[in-house]
Structure 1
Amino acid sequence: MTDDRSDPEPGTPRIGRLTVVTVTYSPGAHLERFLATLPHATELPVTVVMADNGSTDGAPEAAVASHPEVHLLRTGANLGYGSAVNMAVQRYLADDDAEYFVVANPDVQWGPGSIDALIEAAGRRPGAGALGPLIRDPDGTVYPSARLQPSLIRGGMHAVVGSVWKSNPWSAAYRQENLAPSERVVGWLSGSCLLLKRSAFDAIAGFDERYFMYMEDVDLGNRLAKAGWDNVYVPAAEVLHDKGHSTGRDPARNLAAHHRSTYTFLADRYPDWWQAPLRWTIKAALTARSGAVVRRSRRRQAKGPR
């Protein structure tokens, strides 16, 4: 480590050792790629905490045996993403005075200097509670990971017509697809890779544990913003995300979970008694759509690969 890292410039976050939290659920070969590329992402010494939700493939145990910086936390059940992250933070970061930590999926592959670029951006933006990188899909295309908050109209139209009308204006606006990558404040950032400010994360009590999967990152971004923190997109940092390695095992179940999480998120934003008819309408629409997409998914599964 160079001298200027041990004695940083004013405004540079002071991080002695960086903790990276990842949630594992039979991650397979993805986990080894995650760990193999991590040293290229930062010059800081790193501790990796795997919050394991019940893996049966032996990958977390193999990682602990091969990588001395890796720790395995067995959550005791499949708690979901946010709950597992919260447990890891409570168990491993309770006495850690580092200003920032990283949360990332185990199917992320780290670009050179990606974490350091996020930390440098945090130094420029002390009001940022979360910072996220540019995320590429395996084919190299840029995934729209920095989005606006889903308003009732914009988010609703994206949900209703997004799957059948790909170029619709509501989805394009929500996903910020037509904006060139630039460092900017956004509504929320993909939870697949985040640099989080510990004081901001603690101030909002971390992830909302009602979300088993999906929407927990949208909710986190929304609550950070309401608490006065920024969500900052940092495209100078790049990672590759082979998304869906675990969620693809049971598409029908996960589609249903997505709709339940969407209702939880929207119902929270319209909580007053006089908004009850709106909540009923949202729930009815999401229930109908969930039933349709789940049935379609099960038919496809029954037919098998073509």
Structure 2
Amino acid sequence: MKLSIIILNYNVRYFLELCLKSVEDAIAQLDAEIIVVDNNSPDDSCAMVKQLFPQVKLIENNENSGFSKGNNRGVATAKGEYLCILNPDTVVAEDTFLKLIDFADSTNNLGIVGCQLIDGRGEFLPESKRNIPTPIVSLKKVLGNGSAYYANHVSSEGTAKVDILVGAFMWLKKDVYESVGGFDEDYFMYGEDIDLSYKVVKAGYDNYYYGKTTIIHFKGESTLKDAKYAQRFYGAMQIFYKKHFKQNLFFNAMVWLGIKTAQMLRKSSEEVELKSKRSYVYSTTIDHSLEKQLLKPILITDTILQEIENCSMLVFDFNKLSTKEVIKEMKNKSKQKNIVFRFLPKNSKFILGSDSATSRGEVLHF
């Protein structure tokens, strides 16, 4: 088998459905398997997977054991030469896996590969490519200067070696994953991707950022950015430094102080209420029940390059459009003022979207 896609899910049933439908399209030409590991979700994620995706291998944990343990359990059952560690709140393009297989098969000494991630508003996510967060670099970042934290020497569309990739999408050979011990289970959530990336680099492999394919990552769905998030994130960074960087006591104290200061000063962001003036639906028809819930909906059946008003909602129907078309349009329209996007999965009766990294997205049933 060429590829195993590992998706660790917790309580994001509708985003998982959209993700799985996109993954199914992306593996249509491949010898691949999909493995969903559910961390004891209180919603009906598992029932949905069993009903709609009977071919998916579902592992049901009886507790939320965290990101590392969940993914390690999924990888242990994987049969693929390559692994793709994938968040449930993502949407992959139809040719994402095909492109990565071509790149990976032709690249020597390959470690982890990451790709270009955009958020639910079509904006590039800089954590798609990062440098090693040495104590100095991270101390600067938590105090407000993140210029050295991100791998800005590579453009968002470029391809080059980078050190650290993001856990929402990680591509690597299974034997590389196993040779470094997989995800470190000392981490519950956050920091695991930095740790795994760094272990692979230290083992002598080359990690790459591959910007020639783009996926959507709805930040905020798998994790809410609240006080618990802050505690776990900064705690994870302390584990990372204790494990990988042995500095003198003064230096360690400065790093600890920087982390604690950032944690104390961290304030929950105020949500900007986006008041849409009009809705545009990219589809062949508008379901009457959906139409009643949208603002002055305009149906666009021919092209997705039409001019739209600022402060509008764009609804993309995956029954009509490919993910590649949707991603292209999101990038084009993300520069307009207060444009929000919603997505109608194939053969579904809901639309969803996420406009912020600090709150849950919206699911609208019709």
Using the size of structure 2 for normalisation, the TM-score is 0.69
Partner of 1:4: none
- What is the number of equivalent residue pairs in this alignment? 269
Partner of 1:262: 237
Closer/same/farther in 2, CA of residues 69 and 276 from structure 1, 3 Å limit: farther
Structure 1 residue 211, shift from structure 2 partner: 1.1
Bigger relative contact order (CA 8 A; separation at least 6): 1
Is contact 2:2-2:82 (8 Å) kept?
no
Deviations 1:220-269 (A, max 9, x none): 11110000111111112211110121311x61101111110111112223
Deviations 1:258-298 (A, max 9, x none): 110111112223236xx2333233223323332332xx34x
Tell me if 1:23 matches 2:8: yes
**Structure 2 residues not aligned, in runs of 5+:** 272-358, 360-366
Partner of 2:26: 41
2: CA distance, partners of 1:29 / 1:285? 38
2: CA distance, partners of 1:111 / 1:172? 30
2: CA distance, partners of 1:211 / 1:39? 30
Partner of 2:340: none
Using the size of structure 1 for normalisation, the TM-score is 0.82
The letter for the 2-side match of 1:156 is: L
- What SS is found at the alignment partner of 1:51? strand
Tell me if 1:271 matches 2:246: yes
- Give structure 1 regions of 4+ aligned residues with deviation exceeding 6 angstroms: none
1: CA distance, partners of 2:141 / 2:116? 22
Partner of 1:127: 109
218-227 or 143-152, which deviates more:
143-152
Is contact 1:138-1:241 (8 Å) kept?
yes
Alignment of 1:197-216 (within 5 A): 197-216=173-192
Which one has the largest radius of gyration? 2
Partner of 2:295: none
Partner of 2:60: 74
Partner of 2:263: 290
- What SS is found at the alignment partner of 1:155? helix
2: CA distance, partners of 1:104 / 1:269? 25
Tell me if 1:152 matches 2:138: no
Alignment of 1:233-248 (within 5 A): 233-248=209-224
Closer/same/farther in 2, CA of residues 159 and 206 from structure 1, 3 Å limit: same
2: CA distance, partners of 1:17 / 1:66? 24
- What SS is found at the alignment partner of 2:209? strand
- What SS is found at the alignment partner of 2:108? coil
Question: Identity across aligned pairs (percent)?
Answer: 26
* 2:74 alignment partner, one of 88, 96, 108: 88
Structure 1 residue 176, shift from structure 2 partner: 2.7
- What SS is found at the alignment partner of 2:249? helix
The letter for the 2-side match of 1:66 is: L
Structure 1 residue 300, shift from structure 2 partner: 7.1
Tell me if 1:141 matches 2:123: yes
- What SS is found at the alignment partner of 2:261? helix
1: CA distance, partners of 2:42 / 2:173? 32
Is contact 1:118-1:132 (8 Å) kept?
no
Is contact 1:34-1:110 (8 Å) kept?
yes
- What SS is found at the alignment partner of 2:148? helix
Is contact 1:50-1:72 (8 Å) kept?
yes
Is contact 1:20-1:102 (8 Å) kept?
yes
Deviations 1:135-174 (A, max 9, x none): 111222221201111122222101111xxxxxx4xx2332
* 2:36 alignment partner, one of 50, 54, 67: 50
**Structure 1 residues not aligned, in runs of 5+:** 1-15, 162-167
Deviations 1:90-135 (A, max 9, x none): 2x12xx3x32111100011011200111111101213112111111
